[in-house]
Amino acid sequence: MIVQRDSEAFITLGGGILGQAASSLLHFSSELRLYSGPGSLGSLTRELDRTNCRRAALICSSSLARSPAIVGLLRTALGSRLCGEFSGVRMHSPTSSVDEAARFLRESNADAVVAVGGGSVIVTARAASTVLAECRSVPEMCTYRAADGRFISPKLPEPKLPQFVLPTTPTSACVKAGSAVLDEETGRRMALFDPKTRARAIFLHPTLLQTPSVELVMSSALNTLAMSVEGLESATSDPISDALLTHSLRILTEQLPRLQEKAMAPADREKLMFAAVLCGRGTDVAGGGLASVIGHTLGQRTQVANGYVNAIVLPWTMQYNAPATSEGRLTLIADALRVAPSLGHETAPSAIGRVQALLDGLLIPRRLKDIGLLREELPQIAAAAMDDFFVDRNPQPVRSAADVLTVLQAAW
């Protein structure tokens, strides 16, 4: 049965799912409106009309803002609705950039946001809209660990500006509702969650998808790969999210080596974007895990893109999780990676080994020391990782920083 409730679909199934007796499932799926192809931007004004938006503010990266062709494409698509342009986005969405973007939105009197770029642009646009609406600082609104150990996400009740996303890299951020902001003074990752900041519509335009370098696309795709694997490892996944994540992983397995050749056609980059959308939808249900935690923690401290950190630690986090995943979840990953499934503990090395072989075939860093991380820094990184709420979603319990340190030392 499908029950429609406030434009969100809930699919409920009862009894006998995947051979389980007397089981039940509630699958939550947010609205998705996605346009792809050369004519996709022709629907942007129609989508703005659906939300009665007349003043759209553009947020993009500085590199896109310096391209007359891209700026012209966007200005033509928005026409008279364009009320201002902001290009002060920086990697990892630091608080100063978010606050500056919020001031821009206020001064431009925008009633919609059009975010054009990679994950940092999309997250900065969401976080700035949250700061603008709630009139509070990011530290006041971010998820925190309570005294009893639980993670608490404060309610953010104010209406938010509608978000319209034109991604350039294969990032699952394009379909998410969370915003991770960097505290520049402490290096802490601060996470905001508000479903009202989820994109109203997403547009995949071939010209925009061709703008980022191969290195940027590779980093984003590696992050999506790690998230797809973690989603399939998760005990909270369900048959629908499994299907989304499995297909995402299959696309990535096919396209990553082609990306390595630096000769991807626009259609290939589009396929990577479809993988990111599938991954984002699947991990809305399944969540993340320890590789994402380490990527978040290390990426913001080393200024290395999260995807490259994910690629280094993923085989080691899979090995850490094997006691909890080898009886079933790793079989799904092995199948998605076209590894012949086996039974029990024998599945673990086949799936993990295939991931390792895929990553070893790419010209990317393979050890943490290769990205400049010192061994004596590992305990501090492990302690900081325990403040990431994804740590509680890991299939194999992470009970202390010592568990994280074990993985970091193996990956160093």
- With tokens 């369900």, the residue in question is 238
Q: Taking the C-alpha atoms of 366, 367, 373 and 376 in order, what is their torsion angle to the nearest 10 degrees?
A: 170
Query: Are residue 18 and residue 162 in the same domain, yes or no?
Result: no
Query: Are residue 378 and residue 251 in the same domain, yes or no?
Result: yes
CATH number where 368 lies: 1.20.1090.10
Query: Are residue 250 and residue 358 in the same domain, yes or no?
Result: yes
Question: Mean pLDDT in runs of 10 for the chain (412 residues)?
Answer: 36 37 72 96 96 97 94 97 97 94 98 97 98 96 89 94 98 95 88 96 97 94 97 93 96 90 81 98 94 89 87 97 89 81 58 93 94 94 92 94 97 96
- With tokens 């915003």, the residue in question is 179
Q: What is the largest CA-CA distance in the chain?
A: 61
Other beta carbons within 10 angstroms of residue 188's beta carbon come to 17
Instruction: Note the pLDDT tens digit of each residue in 45-103.
Output: 999 999 999 999 999 999 999 999 999 999 999 999 999 999 999 988 999 999 999 99
Query: Are residue 15 and residue 92 in the same domain, yes or no?
Result: no
Q: In which domain, by residue range, is 25 found?
A: 1-31
| pTM of the model as a whole | 0.91
Q: DSSP state, 340?
A: P
Give the C-alpha separation, 241 to 72, whole Å.
38
Listed residues 185, 209, 233: the one ending a domain:
209
Residue 185 pLDDT: 84
Query: Are residue 5 and residue 138 in the same domain, yes or no?
Result: no
Residue 29 pLDDT: 84
Q: DSSP state, 303?
A: -
Instruction: Give the DSSP H or E segment for 393.
Output: none
Query: Are residue 218 and residue 337 in the same domain, yes or no?
Result: yes
Query: Are residue 246 and residue 279 in the same domain, yes or no?
Result: yes
Give the C-alpha separation, 100 to 91, whole Å.
14
Closest CA to 179 of 89, 134, 96, 119: 119
The total number of structural domains in the chain stands at 3
Query: Are residue 272 and residue 351 in the same domain, yes or no?
Result: yes
Judge whether 374 and 409 are in contact, CB under 8 Å.
no
Query: Are residue 204 and residue 224 in the same domain, yes or no?
Result: no
Closest CA to 299 of 394, 360, 373: 373
Other beta carbons within 10 angstroms of residue 131's beta carbon come to 25
Query: Are residue 397 and residue 370 in the same domain, yes or no?
Result: yes
Query: Are residue 252 and residue 176 in the same domain, yes or no?
Result: no
Query: Are residue 182 and residue 84 in the same domain, yes or no?
Result: yes
Closest CA to 113 of 148, 165, 72, 64: 165
CATH number where 160 lies: 3.40.50.1970
Instruction: Give the DSSP H or E segment for 195.
Output: none
